[in-house]
Each structure stands twice: as structure tokens, then as C-alpha cells.
Structure 1
Amino acid sequence: MHVMIIGAAGMIGRKLAERIAETGCIGGQIVCELTLVDVVEPDVAGGFDGMRKVLAADLSKPGVAARLVANRPDVIVHLAAVVSGEAEADLEKGYRINLDGTRALLEAIRSIEKYVPRVIYASSLAVFGAPFPSKIPDDYHLTPLTSYGTQKAIGELMLNDYSRRGLLDGVGIRFPTICIRPGVPNKAASGFFSGILREPLNGKEAVLPVDETVRHWFASPRSAVGYIEHAATMDTASLGAQRNMTMPGVSATVAEQIDALRLTAGDAAVALIRRAPDPDITSIVAGWPQDFDTARALKMGFRAEKSFREIIEVYLEDEMGTPAPSDGAPPQAPQHLRDAQDVTP
């Protein structure tokens, strides 16, 4: 199987590539060729026994999509995007990357005779906009209130249409907000959800720009990779014409996030969170959904964490090398926090 990851320099793309390199498989099927693409050349750690190609390319530029699919990859993971805050600030860039790039990819696939690859499209909860019910069902209509959400909603509709026509075999994944994201903050409006946990766990101050009553839908980077692995080889016949699904996750308030941080790392970590209300971010977040009924995705075999404590444990294990205890006790706080105050592991 030949897998192409577009957006491989991003956090999810990098982790997916490293997972494939580690296991040699995706969704239980052997990967013999791996192509990694981004606007900057992806730097992915880990070896890979098969053929590996790394490319710097902008999908939205003329002719690029056609060159990328010329070798007919079996699975195309389309993660490339301008994230929410940046897409709202730069209208032209958001539509060029998020919409024009996606259409260019689908059209390039359509132009190749007898070529029907599995296309995994990274969508977003931003396709939903207020007013909506407290728990959004699978069949709820798309009413985005941001440019990013609009661009992703159009991409979802195109994925449905090209799949209906038999031009590709699409699976659209509406990712929860991925938390805790490793590394440095990106330009996503949702970045603070990770920051208020990641920074304190690393002994740094974090800024909280919204009220603690804000509720949102979350999953870990490990779950994000798992969604794609499952989507790569699942039986899509039962999806029918509706190819896009909201992924399972955890609904939690900011206060519940902070409580999970306190349980894990104590008051010393929580004390590093500085409240600094930001009206712009508050306005964007106010239009975001809070909870979902993901029965369809669960029935299809997608899985995620069941509590925010589990999400923090994934970060401690995957990014800080601190595995959670096997006896179910709270994971051990990082050493610098235990040094700062008495925190019982």
C-alpha cells in the first residue's frame, strides 16, 4: 500500500508518519511506500523499511496536485490547512489553502482514469455554528459561523459528491480539538485549551483568555492518529452518501480541565495559569459546539479517551516519558512541580 500524507509537517501528520514508520502498517495493512508532503519539507523521525519520499509543495499552486497523485497513492490523508484563527484573520489565504487546495486535489484524482483512492479529509467542529442543541447529533446541519468552518464545510460537501460519483472513496473526520498538543502554540483560536495544561506541566506560565465555564470537545493526539489509521482501511460501504463524521471525544469545561491538571500535578501547576480575558477569542469560542452524540462513529469502530484525566495521561506518557501507574492511581507529577511543592503522586 502507498500512503501519502499531505500536511505531514504538522503535529498530527508527523505523529501519523512516525506511527507508520514504527509499525510498517496503517489500519493493519502493510505500507510499502510513504510520501510525506507539506509547504516545508517534513522532518519526521524514525526509520521506514519501505520507499519513503519527502516533498515540499503547496497543494494550492497550479499543477502541484496532479504531480502528487501521478503515482496513484492508495490512501491520501489530507491534513493541510490554514487553522481557525489564521483563516479568520487572512480571508484570501484561508480560502486558497483550505478550499482551492482541496478542490485541486480532488480534481487531480478525477483526471486519472480508473483511479479511486481512499481519501481521508481532515474536517473540523467549526462546520457547526450556534444556535445548536447542547449535544449535537450525527445528522445535524452544517451552519458555520467562521471562514474556517465555511471552508471545511464546503470540503465536506465536495468529499460527499466526489465519493457519490465513484471518483474517490472518501472518509471525512471532524476532529475534536486535539489536546494536549506538544511543542509550541500554533495560530488556532483553540490553542489555549492545550496551553493551559502543557505550559504548567512544563513549569511555564500559561494564559487563559476565556471564562472557566467554557465547554468544548476534546481528544488526544494519540486518538487523532488512531482515527486516521482506522479510516484508512475501514469498510466504507455503510457510510453511504454521508461520508463525514464527528469523532468520539470528551466534553469538558475549562474548569474541568484545570481540575484534572490539579489532580495530576497539584496546585503548583494550576498557579501558573494567568487569567487574561481576550474578547476576540471569547467571541470565536462562543460560537463553537460543546458536546456531541457520536454514535455513528462509535458504531464504525472509532475510539477516543473517556475522561480528561486520560488525555493528560497520554501527554505525560507520549511527550514527557511519564507512564500512568497501572493501578489506576493519578499519574506522577513532573519532577519540577514536585520540587515546587509537596504533591503526592
Structure 2
Amino acid sequence: MSETLDLIHIRRHLHQIPELALHETQTAAYLRQVIETMPQQWLTIHHIPSLPTALMVKVQGSQPQRCIGYRTDIDALPVTEATGLPYASTNPGKMHACGHDIHMTVALGVLNYFANHQPKDDLLFFFQPAEENDNGGKLAVEAGAFTGEWRPDEFYGLHVNPELSAGVIGCRNGTLFAGTTEINVDFVGKGGHAAYPHLANDMVVACASFIMQAQTVVSRSVDPIEGGVVTFGKLNAGSIRNVIAGRARLEGTIRGLTQAMIEHIDQRLQAIANGIATSFECKVNVELNQGGYLPVENDPRLTVPFIQFMKNAPDVDFVETAPAMTGEDFGYMLHQFPGTMFWLGVDGHAPLHSAKMTPDESAISKGVTAITEFLEDRMTRK
């Protein structure tokens, strides 16, 4: 069996078969096909019955003193690709616009290296479905996937960054990505004729008042050093211009760099909703759904030596990055297991989630090298 994989070919094939959360059937089958071409003497492949598109692969260490986990996400986005590439998505309306095809390819490269060079410690590779939606990491934990011999002592994972040069490793101690919470607010009053507002209870006005007060949460209730975001992107109310709306529905997102901050914003918005209900004599129902999208908080005991290694590695370009308000369900994993998430620069000409996202594929081999060298160094330390 060949020790090398054609990682560019693998990435381009994965790019052509993007699938949405919990429907990554083609992707999972192709991943297994590639893994089965590797030497198998130290590999064990495991499936999670309740998550059929998830894939877990364990590499048996020669003298294991720990189990090191490495996670990659495998799902795509509902985006219609506009890159014009010859290997563009063949699944209409779906695209790896967040770089998960790069994530998977790097993971396969690292796995292949250790399938050919037995590691000292046990390694656990988790090919995770449903990162973009449905919090696949949380689902895997709740399914008991990481128990017994499949429980990692620490977890690592990366995310591509088109704003960094290809192959650059970026990281920081503490929070790397924000946590996110979906917020839905329903207002229920009484509809009526536009000419007789005193006989109705206008929920457009109530909703507008809520929106304006909600904007003061971040500006006046959040420490400006810590930061937070409250964005309402969707509002539905009414049916015609001359009828007062008796109902309104508001949908948005909350983001914060710590779980305590997210919970603080949640509480303030609930308090505002209670006040609106009283002042407008209506019903206001607030629905908050965080799921598995907790802040990605890197563990200092593991992140400090990770950063030190990357800074000193002669063939790695490292930068310390600022926290980002993007969300990632690896945050849930890091609240279950100590670990570190980091950026891999891909020098893209379009941002993440863009229909024109085109990463520089030279980042793949650089990422594989940086991660394999780090893991080998990590396994020499107590």
C-alpha cells in the first residue's frame, strides 16, 4: 500500500459531493473508502448507530499514556456555488463554502501518516457530521460515543481562515470563537382595522419597541472589553397595509465570547420581553436555543504548549489571532474535554460561507505537516 495520498485529488472529490447536516452519506462512504486504502494494522473503525454518517477511527499507540482526539467536520452549506471551478459542486444548492472539504482532507493526511508510522499514544479521529446545523458534536456526546476506550483525554481541531496566508497556523489562548444562541420572539396582541387602533393591540409597534430596547443590551449592559452581539435578521408581521397586525415574530442571533456573557444577554432580553408584555398588555414568548454552539474556549494547559510549539517549529508560520464572533460547535466538545482549536490559513479571495470561496490548496500539505509534527512532539511529553 502506498504511504502517500493524493490529497489534492481527495479534496476536489470531496468538494464535488457536498451534503447538508446529517445527510452526509456520500461523504462518509468516500471517507471510509480512502481510510480503507491505508495500512490497517493499527486502525479500528467505529460507527455511532444514532449518527450513521459519523465516523470514528482509532490508531493504536505503541506505548500509550493518553488518547489524543482530533476532530474534523464533514457537512456543507445550502449555498449555490459560483466559483466556476472544473471540480465545482455537483449537488445543486450545496457547497463546501466553509472549507470542510479542506478540514477533512487535512485530517485524512494526518491519519494516513500515523497509519504508516505508529504513534506512541492512542489517536482518535472523529469525522463529525452536522457542524453547520444540528450540533453534531453534542449529538455524538449525548449518544455516548466518547466512552471507555473511545474517550479522548484531549481534543484538537482546526478551521480554515481565508484571511490568513496559505498554511499559516493561527491560535490564541482563551476564547477563539464566540458561542451563539438562536432567539425567536413571538408577540401576540389583537388585530384590527387601521382606522381604529384603539380597538386593536398593534404588535408591529410592540415588536419595534422590543427591537430598539434590545439594542441597548450590548451598548449599556455588556462590558465593552468583553463584547457581544445581538442581531435580528428576520421579522414577520401583518398581511396588508390597512390591517393592524395582531401577531409578530422576530428571529435573530446572540453571540458572546464567554458562556457567562451569553447567559447574561439572554437574561436581559427576557427581562425586556417581560417589560414589553406589561407595557403593551400583550403576550411575548421568548425562545432561546443554544444547542451545542458554546464558545470555543481553548484550554490553557494545552494551548500554551501548542502555541509555543507552533512558534518554534522551523517549517510553520504562526500568528496569534484575535477572537472571532463566528460560531463553531467544537465549543461544546471543549466544554466536555480539554483541548485546542486553531486556524489554518487558506488565503481565499472570498470570505467563509461565500459562493465564491476558493481556498489555496497548498495549505493542505502545510497543515498536515504542522499537525503531525505537533502530535509527535505532544506524545513525547507527560
**TM-score between the two structures when normalised by the length of structure 2:** 0.22
Greater RCO, 1 or 2 (C-alpha within 8 Å, sep 6+): 2
Larger radius of gyration: 2
Structure with the larger helix share = 1
